[in-house]
Amino acid sequence: MKRSILTVFAAVAMFIGANGQSKIAHINSSELMNLMPEMKDFEKKLKDHEGQLRAQLETMQSELQTKYQEYVADTISLPIVMEVKKSKLEALQADIQQFSQTAEQDMMKKKETLYMPIYTKAKTAINEVAKAKGYDYVLDSSEGLGVLVTTHTNDLMNDVKKKLLIN
């Protein structure tokens, strides 16, 4: 028992000693990403894609509205014809709902597709700068990620901005 406690104590002491020599830096990755010129292109492409999807949805809704008004105004068609028209309206309504859900998923995929190369570029630059400066760990000091106190002495922001050619 005594031997187990000593072994655990020795392991903890070695771990603390090893960590005491680790070099730790930090960077606000959100700020870095917002400074990257690629983010403007990302936002524009995402907004354009959203505009295209919104235009398609508005066209579908306009068609539904027009057909509904025609349906309501139709007072001379036989009941069986009115049932067919009603079924078509319901099908168009279902298509619009399906399109809305699909468009939402499509926007999420598009966002991820456009964002990942930018994220990868930033992460690669951070890793390269950290390695070049001999840091073992880099913490993300973005708001809400758990880093409460940082100093400017170990902030990699300027070095990573230079690496990415950001002024």
pLDDT for res 149:
66
Residue with tokens 């049932």: 83
Alpha helices in 21-166 (DSSP H): 29-35, 38-73, 79-133, 157-163
| Long-range contact pairs involving 159-162 (C-beta distance under 8 Å, separation at least 24) | 159/129, 159/133, 160/27, 160/32, 160/122, 160/125, 160/126, 160/129, 161/32, 161/35
The distance between the two most distant Cα atoms of the chain, rounded to a whole number of Å, is 98
Given a cut of 60, whether residue 6 has pLDDT beyond it is no
139 beta partners: 26
Q: Are 26 and 151 in contact (CB under 8 A)?
A: no
What's the whole-model pTM score? 0.70
Using pLDDT thresholds of 50, 70 and 90, give the confidence band for residue 150.
low
Q: Domains in the chain, ordered, with CATH?
A: 21-163 (3.30.910.20)
For the stretch 37-59, pLDDT in tens is 999 999 999 999 999 999 999 99
